[in-house]
A and B are shown apart, each in its own frame.
Chain A
Amino acid sequence: MLDLMQYAPDPLGSDYGETLEAFSKGMVAMVPQWTACLASWKESPQLQPFEEKVGVALMPGGVPVSGGWGLGINASSKNKEWAFRFIQYATSKEGDTIQWLKYRIGPTRQSVVVDPQVVTDSPWLQEVYVASLNGASHRPRIPEEPKLEDVFVGVLSEILLGQQPNTVETLNAVAEEWERALRK
């Protein structure tokens, strides 16, 4: 990460939106992102012709972080039945295909990944997406996760700022802080 900093326009001063903007304006060559960004990038004048200029590859190291969205029904919902049917539709093969083709929301069904319509639209999906899911590191689904992430992001930023040494001792200090947060 330290080595890559020289290639980023403003690595520690850019927020999420600015990172997307840097890529959509053609200022950076690569950006680690979720699939949904592809839909807005496809409209960017600087990235045309899109199919020739933009490609998708597995994250270096082969271990991307997985993210995901959930759908639920509120216990006090007045229309539980309809809500359930909507969830059924949204997670069906048809719903999953529409979400991918129109909005580039990563499919959750393997049948969508191998669907001929999807393969024609995005030939890279099968190889890259499935490999990404197979190697993915999943965010722990525990209440303390945001806190743990905040601690780690803070220390990581300090390493990149040169305020903390890039050593195992620094990571051990993070581990100690994580343990303290988990014991609470």
Chain B
Amino acid sequence: MILPLLIVFIGLTLYPFGYMIFMSFFRYSLASWEKPEFVGIDNYREVFRDRTARSSVDFTLLLLVTAVPLEILLGIGIAFLFRDSLGEKVFRSVLLIPMMVPAVVAGIAWKMLYNFEFGPINYFLTLLGGEKISWLGTQFFSRLGVILIDVWQWTPFVFLVIYAGLQSIPRDVVEASLVDGARGFTALRYVELPLLRPLIWVVLIIRVIDALKLFDIVYMVTFGGPGSATHSYSFYIYKVGVSFGWDIGYASALSILLLIAITILTNLLFRFLRFRETLEL
């Protein structure tokens, strides 16, 4: 019974993955019409000499340490704020819109919002007496722009998970804390948040993995520019492997390194989670 499933799994997951590892040790460019040539770990060495690869790592790490914490904090804050509020169901539906909009559509919309001459953001800035900002033409603002889009797009996901978690917290536990004298923030801080912690960790891990793989918004809004300011690591892999290079060997090496980084980071997060749980037992 499981044989067809196994064949699909091997064919669609294990084989491409194994082939990628295999190709990362070869010089193989689809543009040159030459047969793959074994080069050992040369492709991996090249990554550390490649300034655009370094720049893409910088930007991806920046996204990781700014967008992800913001999304977690905002998502948790909004979930607590809108819980049991008037019009909760309407808010909930509206808040989920950014997450449901396809990245391509969101990208076009944000590109128009950021437009220097005709964009609404600059229009309102000038109405308020401010100067127009080149949102996509300077390193600082283009990076900020991508981070804002990521926060806009993925805060609803954090909200959704935490909101669902809040609904599942047993009311008697919260009520017991209220009977014991906990009020407002104290009940939230010492009763509800600890109960939500496993969920927060899961959300954090998912967002870390996603942030490391960011591609669509960069492709649609900045195309990595200006210069290499908003090259995310995944976007650089695309450029090397498809758009400007067709360099399958080098793109495979870059992909393997990303996979290793994600594996190490998620393992560290899981270990930290288990360590905390051990301390609390």
Select the stretch in B60-68, B75-83, B131-139 that faces chain A: B131-139
Residues from chain A with Cβ under 8 Å of B138 in the complex: 12-13, 161
Interface centre among B33, B137, B223, B239 (most CB of A within 10 A): B137
The answer to whether B32 and A143 have CB atoms under 8 Å apart is yes
B244 contacts A157, CB within 8 Å? no
Judged by a CB distance under 8 angstroms, whether B255 is at the interface is: no
Q: Mark B161-198, 1 if CB is under 8 A from A, else 0.
A: 00000000000000000000000000000000000000
Tell me, yes or no, whether B116 is within 8 Å of chain A by CB. yes
The DSSP consensus for interface residues of chain A is helix
Task: Tell whether A10 is near chain B: CB-to-CB under 8 Å.
Answer: yes
Q: Is the CB of A13 within 8 A of B137?
A: yes
Closest B residue to A5 by beta carbon equals: B137
User: Of B32, B223, B229, which one neighbours A15 at CB under 8 angstroms?
Assistant: B223
- Give the contacting residue for B117; candidates A9, A150, A177, A180; CB below 8 A: A9
A150 touches B239 (CB 8 A): yes
**Which single residue of chain B is at the shortest CB-CB distance from A177?**
B51
A27 to B29, CA, bound (A): 42
A179 within 8 A of B: no
| Size of the chain A interface, CB-CB below 8 angstroms | 27
Q: Which residue of B lies closest to A10 (CB)?
A: B116
- Name which residue of chain A comes closest to B249, CB basis: A184
Find residues 1-59 in chain A having any chain B CB closer than 8 Å to their own CB: 9-15, 18, 22, 27
A147 interfacial by beta-carbon distance below 8 Å? yes
Q: Nearest-CB distance from B116 to chain A (Å)?
A: 4
Q: A116-141 interface mask toward B, CB cutoff 8 Å, 1 = contact, 0 = none?
A: 00000000000000000000000000
Q: Mark B221-261, 1 if CB is under 8 A from A, else 0.
A: 00101111100000000010001111100000000000000
- Total interface residues on B, CB under 8 Å, equals 31
**Distance in angstroms between the alpha carbons of A143 and B245 in the assembled complex:** 8
The residue in B115, B227, B228 that gathers the most chain A C-beta atoms within 10 A of its C-beta is B227
Within the assembled complex, what's the spacing in Å between the Cα atoms of A22 and B244? 27
Does B266 sit at the interface, judged by CB under 8 A?
A: no
Contacts of A22 in B (CB 8 A): 117
Given contacts A10-B134, A13-B136, A14-B137, contact A154 B244 (CB under 8 A): no
Partner of A12, one of B33, B226, B228: B226
Not counting A154-B227, A158-B228, a sample of 17 additional A-B residue pairs whose C-beta atoms are within 8 angstroms of each other reads A9-B117, A10-B117, A12-B134, A12-B137, A22-B117, A143-B31, A143-B246, A146-B31, A146-B245, A147-B244, A147-B245, A157-B225, A157-B226, A161-B138, A161-B227, A161-B229, A184-B27
The 7 lowest CB-CB distance pairs between A and B, nearest first, are A13-B137, A143-B31, A10-B116, A157-B227, A13-B136, A12-B137, A12-B226
Which residues of A come within 8 Å of B, CB atoms?
Answer: 9-15, 18, 22, 27, 143-144, 146-147, 149-151, 154-155, 157-158, 160-161, 163, 177, 180, 184
